[in-house]
Amino acid sequence: ATDCQLRVAAAASFRPALEALLPEFEATAQCKVQINSGSSGVLYQQALHGAPFDLFLSADRERPELLERQDKIVPGSRRTYALGLLALWLPDSAEKTSETIRGWSDTIVIADPKVAPFGVAARQVLQSLGLWDGKRAQLARAHNAGQAYLMLDAGHGQLGFVAASQMVAAGRDNYWLLPQDLYQPIEQQLVVLRQSRNADRAQALADYLLSGAVRARLAELGYGRAAGEGL
Amino acid sequence: MELTLPLFRRAVQSLDGDGLSVQGLVTSLNTDTPWQLALPAQGVFGFTGPSGGGKSTLLAALAGLRGCTGKIGFGNVTWQSGKSGLATHRRDLSLGFQDSSLFGGQTVADNLALAHRYSRRPLSPEERAELIECFGITPLLRQPVELLSGGEAQRVAVLRQLFSNAAVQLYDEPLAAVDRLQVIRKLLPRLRDFWARHPALVIWTSHDFDEIQLLATQCLWMERGALTGPLPLREVTRRLQLDSLERESCFSRLEARVLCQEEGLLTLSLGDATLYADRVAGRYRAGQSIAFLLGSGDIGLCLEQPGLSSILNCLPVELREIVPLEGGRVRLRLAAGEQEFSADISRLSRERLQLREGERYYAQFKASSLAGL
Amino acid sequence: MELTLPLFRRAVQSLDGDGLSVQGLVTSLNTDTPWQLALPAQGVFGFTGPSGGGKSTLLAALAGLRGCTGKIGFGNVTWQSGKSGLATHRRDLSLGFQDSSLFGGQTVADNLALAHRYSRRPLSPEERAELIECFGITPLLRQPVELLSGGEAQRVAVLRQLFSNAAVQLYDEPLAAVDRLQVIRKLLPRLRDFWARHPALVIWTSHDFDEIQLLATQCLWMERGALTGPLPLREVTRRLQLDSLERESCFSRLEARVLCQEEGLLTLSLGDATLYADRVAGRYRAGQSIAFLLGSGDIGLCLEQPGLSSILNCLPVELREIVPLEGGRVRLRLAAGEQEFSADISRLSRERLQLREGERYYAQFKASSLAGL
Amino acid sequence: MNPVNIGAADLEALWLTLRLAAVTTLLLLAIGVPLAWKLSHWQSRWRHGVEVLITLPLVLPPTVLGFYLLLLFSPNHASGQWLAALWGEPLVFSFTGLVIASVIYSLPFMVQPLLASFSQNGKRLTRAAAALGMPPHAALLKVLLPASRPAIVSACALTFAHTLGEFGVVLMIGGAIPGETQVVSIALFQHVEALEYGAAHRLALVLLVVTTALLLLARWLGRAVSATSREERFMGVPG
Amino acid sequence: MNPVNIGAADLEALWLTLRLAAVTTLLLLAIGVPLAWKLSHWQSRWRHGVEVLITLPLVLPPTVLGFYLLLLFSPNHASGQWLAALWGEPLVFSFTGLVIASVIYSLPFMVQPLLASFSQNGKRLTRAAAALGMPPHAALLKVLLPASRPAIVSACALTFAHTLGEFGVVLMIGGAIPGETQVVSIALFQHVEALEYGAAHRLALVLLVVTTALLLLARWLGRAVSATSREERFMGVPG
Ligand SMILES: Nc1ncnc2c1ncn2[C@@H]1O[C@H](COP(=O)(O)OP(=O)(O)OP(=O)(O)O)[C@@H](O)[C@H]1O
Ligand SMILES: Nc1ncnc2c1ncn2[C@@H]1O[C@H](COP(=O)(O)OP(=O)(O)OP(=O)(O)O)[C@@H](O)[C@H]1O
Ligand SMILES: [Mg+2]
Ligand SMILES: [Mg+2]
């Protein structure tokens, strides 16, 4: 029915992927989906304070968990829909090894570890390599992964941590997909919100996003496979 | 049954009653000398005094536009009592500021229309048109007020106040920037006529004593925060002199009876003497008693009845007193019958004529010296 | 070798040369009647005419503050040529606006200090102090200009312009809001003295003809955008009368030679006659030639030399012309030697004395009638 | 979703933004004029305090201001329940909510210029009006406003422009629902975030052109009377 | 990372912000006063255009403005290379870069109030000054500025407040380097995002209190002369 309408709150970084995936769902489920994208932190606040979202696709797992704890979601709807993968933006000539970071004496752009999940992951990488304390002075903190990408794209830095999905979306290949043992993969979770007036459809969309076909597409788009189904 | 008036016309306040009474009015200027004033509900009063004396301050206080304490009442309405006062727009008055204060961003016509619209006693369209014409404003109606010349702005401001036609009209040096000729020949006569038709209490501030003399018979005087008045004009002239005894002439007020008035010449009798006046604006009946002013500088003194001269008036007088003035002059106090007046002559004349107090002489003055008729 | 001057003192422009010359000056007001004017480099000139005539417009155009085209030059400097002109502050002039335009947000002292600081010919500290005192500004020095009364503001504005002491000084109704007494007794004499000591070209705009007569010997006239002048004052009086023959008295200018000055009394000789003046402010040398004003209303005419009278002056005259005035009066054009002057008498006197043109009479007037000394 | 021309969603956002800015400006005019007038007359020691208070919406980062508004409007709190009951619908994520937020956020832009203008010549004009028997509201409407035309135009232009560019507050309490709460500033930001630079440049250009045209129009309508004086016409200076 | 009191990092951010706001305000004063003065005298048809141009930084969402600044400063483009060469160090991520961005962003806040004030009485005063032989710069400094004190205070207060609250631009080109580019608004936003509400509330409160105090101080310093008139003292109205 055409009167079916869903509002999805999606992390800004996931928006391009979502836009690629949705048409198929809209066609089969006969339902229009509106994307409301933004920073996960902001979306969380909004969901908490009465925003009319049906589904919340966060860029982390912390905020969905919080919503669950505050009893704002349909019980059992919290699932990991993708793994965010960290990529290292490199100069074209540079080698794709940790030595490049070690020997780098210029600015390193990262997302702010204080607020951005990709920033936390980047810190973990540096810590694993034992470089965190040594390289700290060289770090230029962008607010989030998106802005880190904009920085690098505008040339304000030649080396930096970004999301792999961004590199794929932009069709660039000057990156090194960091080994997943250097950081805790970024679990991106979704929840169906309790205040949804259309919880069935929302659940259907969630199921679609968790389906095998979609997971395969996501891998092409620069996301990792979740370690296991669900939690 | 009452007719419904348009909303913006507030009830017209009765004009009879006690007039304006000011008791113990204190502003920041006159903390030691509270102002007292009692004026009738109708009449035109001049207002003058040295620059910086406090005239504008008093007018603003009367209008409730300046912090003051004391009591002000008009008719049976209390305007101010202690620190609290009626809002300016609720007082049946209008105040024209020294700087015209036209409403910017609007045309002359807009300014006049606003005054008319909020008037308590609006004028008829004919009268408005006629006033606009008389004040020479017709060609300026569509002009933005910012572009008016100094004198034009003042004329518009006065006109605006006439359109408002309040019960109490306060004017603060309203025509100081208009050429005298226009003021004396056109504006002042028209103003006299206006207030004759629309009686009001008018306080007319000016540094031009001629202007005051042509409009008013009494005058307020403000000097260094001290208010006196209403005084007869003569008294004000005296004040203008006290400050400067050597100054010009002083005017004395004399009364006489009308014998007849022929075209341009008024014949009067004062005691046994016949007097002639040839600068006369009013119309008088035979037998009527009238007052006129005589300037002390316009009078000459002779020992004997003088021969044929264009100086028409010759009045037998008794010399009562001789007061020396600064600058080689003396002032004589003369009496014609019961009436006293002053004449100023040079010390040289006094010596030549060997004048003595108590003796009788002849006072000679021109027909044009009789002022205020 | 040249001394270095403080940066802000610009070079003093030479005062000799051709004076001010204005050729074909056109503003929005007088598109059809371009203004022509030629004035010497020194001297005081009155400037008057009906309200809205264009006086302020001319002054602003001279100062380069108003769109105009034409040619203005002063000395050997071109101020305006065609559409392009020298910036105002580069012209060696000062202009006082009709609305005083004091610098807000500052005290009176600040305002005066700025004028002094940017003066091309700064006054000495003593002279400044003396001027401030004479203008009655001393108690106001620390006052913010916003709080000044109308007359106080005008006095500060004039003082500011004196401190600036420019070669060309334009005044636009500068003392209209100051009481006449102060103007006539203190300010005008001080101004005359100032310009005697610091020669400059002064244009003094005023609606008060007395003021102009006390300062200037010549006058510019502006009426409906048409500029005439400089005219002798007599001519201006005539213009003022033409418009209103019945108007009060007119003043005539007469010249005489000083015989002696004793305390309070000045003795003059005019032709064969001796004249006395007893209201004299200035100091004069014996033998000096001086000018004074005689009001037409102050003169009486006699057939014979009158007897002893306090009217000290008696001048043999020839009656040249009799002009009837409105209101039962006539104006006589009299000649004493080469000098002409007017006297107003009543028609009755004229008939009684059977006055005829061409005959000789005696003009009688008081010692106090000689004005402007 | 990589339009060659400006997309339908962007057009919708543009239209919504203009509506929001217009409504906000009008509302603020209605609020700001009397407020500035009262303030300019207020002779109390509190006046400075209130003036600073009006400036404060500027001090908080818009997102934080939005956050506090979000808390205020939240159905989890009494305030939000009360407001929703009053209004009949929740304020978060609605056009009404956006308008309220914009009004609060842009308040200083309207009030400050008006206050400055009113303080400079308001007293003199109000006195002159009262001295002709005009009651205060008439003095404001018929005397002060016509005389303050340039200040009003300037205040409205600032308010309008600022509402157009408003971002943080709207993002917080409005989100980005196309056609309802997605204003141009958010659409533009999202284009940048999504690396759609072409769309971003185009939208920015359209926004700038439209705004410039509107602001020029406003100035032209509100130009001061004296600008058309005889003298300026004489000198060939264009009005 | 959940301080009971306001943390050292927040204090540092506060101090940085105040410095940034002060520097920006001073710079803008130096730029805005002559600019507004020139504009207020400019009798050309272009004047309206330039006035609108100055308003435009308001129209673009701050983040987008920041994005364009990012492009402008970019070493990939000639402009950025030139600027970096001129300045000797990259502008992005530096205090200098923040100052430049703030100056651009807050320009309208300084210029508009000044322009309004200068247009209202600037012409009259400048003429009066010129008519006493004062050259234009003296007229501006010694006559116009003292007379426009209230407008200047108001403009500075607006600029200062707006720079304090600035967020988007700084976020874009400054990032959040503590002590160099992390300003309060960003710290505050990060507290909110990191769900550290307590710290957010405290920091917001400190920011508001400090700003209020500063703004009140500015007003007190810049109060109009006439506020201390004899009359007001007489009526017991506090200055
Ligand atoms: N608000 C004020 N605060 C302090 N002093 C003031 C204030 N207003 C006026 N004054 C002073 O009070 C005195 C009286 O001023 P006022 O304007 O009443 O004089 P005035 O008689 O109207 O003079 P003028 O004839 O020059 O207009 C002046 O010395 C003036 O400087
Ligand atoms: N900028 C302007 N644009 C159009 N008309 C103007 C402008 N300025 C003045 N006027 C008009 O030009 C005429 C002359 O004005 P001006 O101020 O020069 O007269 P004035 O002789 O100084 O008069 P007053 O004695 O009343 O001061 C007036 O009618 C006035 O309305
Ligand atoms: Mg006064
Ligand atoms: Mg004039």
How far apart are the CA of D153 and the nearest CA of chain E, in angstroms? 10
Give the closest-approach CA distance of D159 to chain B in angstroms: 23
Identify the nearest ligand to the CA of E235 by its number.
1
Specify if E13 maps to a domain.
yes
Specify the pLDDT at position B250.
Answer: 66
Q: Neighbouring chains of C at 3+ CB pairs within 8 Å? A: B, D, E
D6 touches chain E (CB under 8 A): no
Ligand 2, atom nearest to C54 Cα: 18
How much is the pLDDT for B184?
Answer: 74
Q: Do B265 and C346 touch (CB under 8 A)?
A: yes
Please indicate whether, in this complex, the C-beta atoms of D234 and C66 are within 8 angstroms of each other. Answer: no
Q: What is the pLDDT of residue B15?
A: 38
Q: Is the domain of C320 the same as that of C229?
A: no
User: Is C5 inside a domain boundary?
Assistant: no
Instruction: State residue C366's pLDDT score.
Output: 83
Give the span between the Cα atoms of D105 and D96, in whole angstroms. Answer: 14
Which residues constitute the domain of residue D131?
Answer: 8-231
Question: Is the CB of C28 less than 8 angstroms away from the CB of D237?
Answer: no
B118 compared with B330, residue with greater pLDDT: B118
C69 and C162 fall within a common domain:
yes
Ligand nearest to the CA of C207: 2
- D220/E61 touch (CB, cutoff 8 Å), yes or no: no
Q: With contact defined as beta carbons under 8 Å apart, do E21 and E156 qualify?
A: no
Do B46 and B154 belong to one domain? yes
* Residues, Cβ < 5 Å to ion ligand 4: B 149-150; C 56, 98
Centre of ligand 4 to C-alpha C171, Å, is 10
Q: Indicate if C213 and C316 belong to the same structural domain.
A: no
Domain presence at residue E239: no
Split into its structural domains, chain E has a count of 1
Ligand 1: residues with CB < 6 A are B 28-29, 51-57, 98, 222; C 143, 147-152, 177; E 229-231
Q: Using an 8 Å CB-CB cutoff, list chain C residues near D233.
A: 28
Is E176 within 8 Å of A114 when comparing Cβ atoms?
yes
Tell me: do B25 and B45 sit in the same domain.
yes
Is residue B265 located within the same domain as residue B169? no
Q: Do D172 and A9 touch (CB under 8 A)?
A: no
Ligand nearest the Cα atom of residue C47? 2
Please check whether residue A7 is in contact with residue D177, taking contact to mean a CB–CB distance below 8 angstroms. Answer: yes
* Closest among B56, B74, B23, B90 to B201, alpha carbons compared: B74
**C226 and C262: one domain?**
no
Closest residue by Cα to atom 3, ligand 2, is: D230
- How many other CB atoms sit within 10 Å of the CB of residue C230? 22
Q: Residue B314 is encoded by which pair of tokens?
A: 């010759």
What pLDDT is recorded for position C241?
Answer: 54
Beta-carbon separation of D133 and B89 below 8 A: yes
Same domain, B93 and B135: yes
List the subunits that have 3+ CB pairs under 8 angstroms with A.
Answer: D, E
Question: Residue with structure tokens 């004048």?
Answer: B355
CB–CB contact E195 A142 (8 Å): no
In-domain check, residue D239: no
Q: A34 Cβ partners below 8 Å, 6+ apart?
A: A5, A6, A7, A8, D177, D178
Q: Among B95, B272, A55, which residue's Cα sits nearest to residue D128?
A: B95
pLDDT value of position D93: 80
Closest ligand relative to E231 C-alpha: 1
Last residue of a domain, one of C196, C212, C239: C239
Asked if B268 and B257 touch (Cβ cutoff 8 Å), the reply is yes
pLDDT computed for residue B293 by the predictor:
73
Cβ contacts below 8 Å, chain A against chain D, sum to 65
Contact: D76, A49; criterion CB under 8 Å: yes
Instruction: Give the gap in angstroms from C-alpha E207 to the nearest C-alpha of chain C.
Output: 33
Contacts 24+ apart (CB under 8 A), C347-353: C347/B264, C347/B265, C347/B278, C348/B265, C348/B276, C348/B278, C348/B312, C348/B367, C349/B309, C349/B310, C349/B311, C349/B312, C349/B367, C349/C301, C350/B310, C350/C322, C352/B308, C352/B312, C353/B308, C353/B309, C353/B310, C353/C301, C353/C303
Instruction: Write the pLDDT tens digit of every residue in B209-242.
Output: 778 877 888 899 999 989 987 887 767 766 665 3
Report residue E125 as tokens.
């005063």
Distance CA E160, CA D55 (A): 10
> Does some domain include residue D184?
yes
**What is the spatial distance between Cα C205 and Cα C220, in angstroms, rounded to a whole number?**
9
Is residue D95 one of the residues assigned to a domain?
yes
Strand partners, B333: B321, B342
- Range A20-36 burial, b when 16+ CB lie within 10 A, else e: ebbeebeeeeebebbbb
Identify whether the C-beta of residue C213 lies closer than 8 Å to the C-beta of residue C183: no
Q: Which two tokens stand for residue E149?
A: 């004190």
Q: Nearest CA to CA, how far is B148 from chain E (Å)?
A: 15
Q: Which residues surround ligand 3, an ion (CB under 5 A)?
A: B 56, 98; C 149-150
Q: Whose CA is nearest to atom 25 of ligand 2?
A: C51
Whether B218 is in a domain gets the answer yes
- Ligand 1 mean position, distance from CA B240 (Å): 20
Give C67's contacts in chain D (Cβ within 8 Å): 231-232, 234-235, 237
Distance (angstroms) between ligand 4 centre and the Cα of C173 equals 7
Mean pLDDT score, A83-91:
92
pLDDT tens track of chain C, all 373 residues? 333 333 333 333 433 457 899 999 999 889 889 999 999 999 999 999 999 999 999 999 999 998 899 999 998 899 999 888 899 999 999 999 988 889 988 999 999 999 999 999 999 999 999 999 999 999 999 999 989 999 999 999 999 999 999 999 999 999 999 988 788 778 888 898 899 899 999 999 998 877 887 788 889 999 998 998 788 776 776 666 544 334 455 667 788 889 888 877 889 988 888 898 877 766 788 888 887 878 787 888 888 887 778 888 889 999 988 888 776 778 888 988 888 888 888 888 888 888 888 889 999 888 877 876 7
| CA–CA dist C205, C247 (Å, integer) | 22
Residue C192 covered by a domain: yes
Question: Is the distance from CB of D101 to CB of D206 less than 8 angstroms?
Answer: no
> Is E2 inside any structural domain?
no
pLDDT by residue (tens digit) across E100-126? 888 988 888 888 888 888 887 788 899
Q: Which among B188, B210, B239 is the end of a domain?
A: B239
Interface of chain E toward chain A, CB-CB under 8 angstroms:
1, 67, 70-71, 73-77, 80, 90, 92-93, 171-172, 175-177, 186, 190, 192-195
Q: Is the pTM of this model over 0.90?
A: no
Confidence class of residue B271 from pLDDT cuts 50, 70 and 90? confident
CB atoms within 10 A of CB D3: 15
E175 to A143: CB separation less than 8 angstroms, yes or no: yes
Query: How far does the CA of residue C303 sit from the closest CA of chain B (Å)?
Result: 7
Cβ contact A155–E74 (<8 Å)? yes
Residue B99 Cα to ligand 1 middle (Å)? 13
Domain contains C293: yes
User: What's the mean pLDDT when you consider all of chain B?
Assistant: 84
pLDDT at C58: 95
User: Is E167 domain-assigned?
Assistant: yes
Question: What CATH number does residue E26 fall under?
Answer: 1.10.3720.10
**How confident is the model over E120-162, as pLDDT tens digits?**
778 889 999 999 999 999 999 999 998 888 788 888 888 888 8
Q: Do chains D and A touch (3 or more CB pairs under 8 A)?
A: yes
DSSP-assigned states of every residue in B305-358: ---SBS--EEEEEEEEEEEEETTTEEEEEEEETTEEEEEEEEHHHHHHHT--TT
Q: By percentage, how much of chain A surpasses pLDDT 70? A: 97
Q: Is the pLDDT of residue E27 over 50?
A: yes
Pick from B99, B138, B142, B152 the residue to mutate for probing ligand 2's pocket: most ligand atoms within 8 Å of its CB: B152
CATH code for the domain in which residue B200 is found: 3.40.50.300
Q: In chain D, which residues have pLDDT < 70? A: 1-6, 222-239
Residue C196 placed within a domain: yes
* Chains in contact with chain E (at least 3 beta-carbon pairs closer than 8 A): A, B, C, D
The C-alpha of D61 sits at a distance from chain E's nearest C-alpha, in angstroms, of: 4
Name the minimum distance, in Å, from the CA of D231 to any CA of chain C: 5
**pLDDT-based confidence at residue B173 (cuts at 50, 70, 90):** very high
Which chain C residues are closer than 8 Å to B302 by Cβ? 306-311
Q: Does E44 reside within a domain?
A: yes
Contact A140 E175 (CB under 8 A): yes
Q: Please count the CA atoms within 13 angstroms of the CA of D208 that sit on its side-chain side.
A: 16
Task: Say how many domains are in chain C.
Answer: 2
Task: Using a CB–CB cutoff of 8 Å, tell me whether D115 touches chain E.
Answer: yes
How far, in Å, CA of B50 to CA of B53, rounded? Answer: 6
Contact B27, B57 (CB under 8 A): yes
My answer on whether B136 and B177 are in the same domain is: yes
User: What CA–CA distance (Å, rounded) separates C82 from C71?
Assistant: 6
SS3 C33: coil
pLDDT digits (tens, 9 = 90+) for A13-71: 888 889 889 999 988 888 888 888 888 888 888 888 888 889 999 988 889 999 999 89
Q: Half-sphere exposure of residue B339, counting CA atoms within 13 Å on the CB side?
A: 15
Mutate which: C10, C93, C106, C114, vs E, most E CBs within 10 A: C114
Average pLDDT in the B116-139 region? 93
Q: Choose from A83-97, B4-18, C105-119, E36-50 the range with maximum mean pLDDT.
A: C105-119
The reply to whether C2 falls in a domain is no
Determine, for residues D194 and A15 on separate chains, whether the beta-carbon distance falls below 8 Å. yes
- Ligand 2 centroid to Cα of residue D87, in Å, is 58
Q: Write out the residue range of the structural domain in which residue C342 sits.
A: 251-371
Q: How far is the CA of C50 from the centre of ligand 4 (A)?
A: 10
Among protein residues, the one with the nearest Cα to ligand 1's atom 8 is C147
Our answer on whether A and B touch (3+ beta-carbon pairs < 8 Å) is no
Shortest-distance atom of ligand 2 to CA C66: 1
Asked if D190 and A13 count as a contact pair (C-beta separation under 8 A), the reply is no
Q: Which residue has the higher pLDDT, E74 or B201?
A: B201
